[in-house]
Amino acid sequence: MTQPFLPFTRPSIDEATIAAVADVLRSGWITSGPKVQAFEAALSAHCGGRPVRAFNSGTATLEVALRLAGVGPGDEVITTPLTWVATANVILEVGAKPVLVDVDPVTRNIDLSRIEAAITPATKAIIPVDLAGLPVDRDALYAIANRHKLRVVEDAAQSFGASWNGKLIGTIGDFVSFSFHANKNFTTSEGGALVLPADIDPALCERLRLQGVQRFPDGSMDVDVLGGKWNLTDIAAAIGLGQLPHVADFTARRRELARRYFSELPADRGLGLPLADFANSNWHMFQVTLPATAERGALIAAMKERGIGIGVHYPALHLFSLYRGLGFREGDFPVAERIGRQIVTLPLFPAMLDSDVSRVCAALAQVLPECI
């Protein structure tokens, strides 16, 4: 009997949430409204009472955070080359210059020991990325930022539900940007949220989110800043409200599955395993690196033939044509380049069975020697 296809991720959405979406559709109010307000209040409670504003994507939250931080033409922003390209694209969107720093080979996050060498008088901010849900060392990060008076925009797109030393990501720090894309641990189908620091006016964030419009009780309005069209819908917010109570359970299950991967992956096939952090990481993804001689495309195809989906997250972004055009070259960030060439994402989502992990590990053990 053919086994069903196992994707690398799949959202877990219960019937109560589906019913709540139907209620929104029947209500006649489907764009930003009472559900978005309720969702923002729930997110704020999750983040220790800090102001949170919802957006239609995690990319939008990053861009708005940079604008709120005063980043613009002539400024530099430090980030990692091993991330979804949106992290660097938003720096270009506000007219600033992305300055890339290579990654740590163990955590695969930005190498904090290299950041200070990249700081110049033009540096305005740092965007660290919690790759695969493993948080960047917040203590070391903010020590650097505070020492050089830099803003931090945490790209926590992958780390909702993760923590640093017992404190949930979002409860501490400067700007914190979350993504609720369909492949994230916690989803609104598409969407994101921005946690604001105390010195930022939430009303300004709201105006930037929706064309810079400020409305007055008499029906008049004004536009005092250049905003975008980045509001979340009540449909998406209803999904988020249904998902939020399950985040702790989702994270616990992901950790169980990750532990099983560590115990069952073949030890003699040259796979590079992620850092086994079960205190802080939310295990958004379980990523391994293949041996240098492995043909990744052949492995992905062979696993697909066996009904198993494998992802690639992410190629080193400075090797994309857009960034080569800005002067980046192969060899600039060798650790990120090596990982980007060899990394694959294995299936991991809360509805997976223990037997699914065993299936993936057995298939890898069989397929990998054929692809080297």
List, by residue number, the catalytic residues: 184
Pairing of strands 52-55, 192-195: antiparallel
Burial class of residue 93, CB neighbours in 10 A (0-12, 13-18, 19+): middle
Strand-pairing partners, residue 76, are 97, 123
- Helix, strand or coil for residue 202? helix
Q: Which residues contact 256 (CB under 8 A, 6 or more apart)?
A: none
Nearest by Cα to 189 from 242, 226, 137: 242
Q: Are 230 and 212 in contact (CB under 8 A)?
A: no
DSSP string, 127-173: E-B-GGG----HHHHHHHHHHTT-EEEEE-TT-TT-EETTEETTSSS
**10 Å Cβ neighbour count for 25?**
13
